[in-house]
Amino acid sequence: MLKRFKRAWYQHRLSNPEHQHLFDPPPPGEWVSIDCETTGLDRQNDHIISIGAVRISGQRVLTSQRLELLIQPDPHRMPMGADSVRIHQLRESDLAEHGLPPLEVARRVLAFIGPRPLVGYYLEFDVAMLNRLVQPLIGIPLPNEQIEVSGLYYDHKYKQNPDAHIDLRLATLMNDLGLPERKAHNPVNDATMAALAFIKLQVLLGR
């Protein structure tokens, strides 16, 4: 009931009717796995530098249907530190040359995800960062359902042994599920790993 009320409130507050499709019923058996790379972990002061997303259809990850975007740096923010450049392999000059303006990135993200539920690994942080990007365009946070892969994995392991310590690190999760790891800190790679884990866990949990 609360979710329905919140969605109705968001729909009422939508400031851009061009994006009314976000409230359509999602295509059956489709999800979008999404990941953001950021300048840091502060939801208020750090910024997204790149976004990756892949569509999921049934038990298939549609890597040919992916979103891969860089965002132009905000001239008012602090430049990325050396550690961030080392981790993401992106420089300020790369973002300035190949990145898109934030509002254009927001439009492309909304067009790609549509009304589909979002899947991700520690998705709450990514959605919080994405909301800062899309709210200036649509006036509301993302209304999409959110599915946390680490939560599904916890449910799976808890069913096996309620008393066990459950390691929720992505590398542990992928290894335990027998899934291939990809190079980390690349948003498309991270989104793809989350998508593979989601599909496997859906089967294991009988959903």
CATH superfamily assigned to domain 2-148:
Ribonuclease H-like superfamily/Ribonuclease H (3.30.420.10)
Backbone φ/ψ region at 206: left (φ over 0), alpha (ψ -120 to 50), beta: left
User: Is the CB of residue 36 less than 8 Å from the CB of residue 68?
Assistant: no
Q: How far apart are CA 82 and CA 90, in angstroms?
A: 10
Whole-structure pTM value:
0.91
Question: What's the pLDDT tens digit per position in 105-142?
Answer: 999 999 999 999 999 999 999 999 999 999 999 999 99
What residue ranges do the domains of the chain occupy? 2-148
Phi then psi for 163, rounded to 5 degrees?
-95, -5
Please, are residues 52 and 189 in contact by the beta-carbon 8 Å criterion? yes
Q: What is the pLDDT of residues 132-147, one digit of tens each?
A: 999 999 999 999 999 9
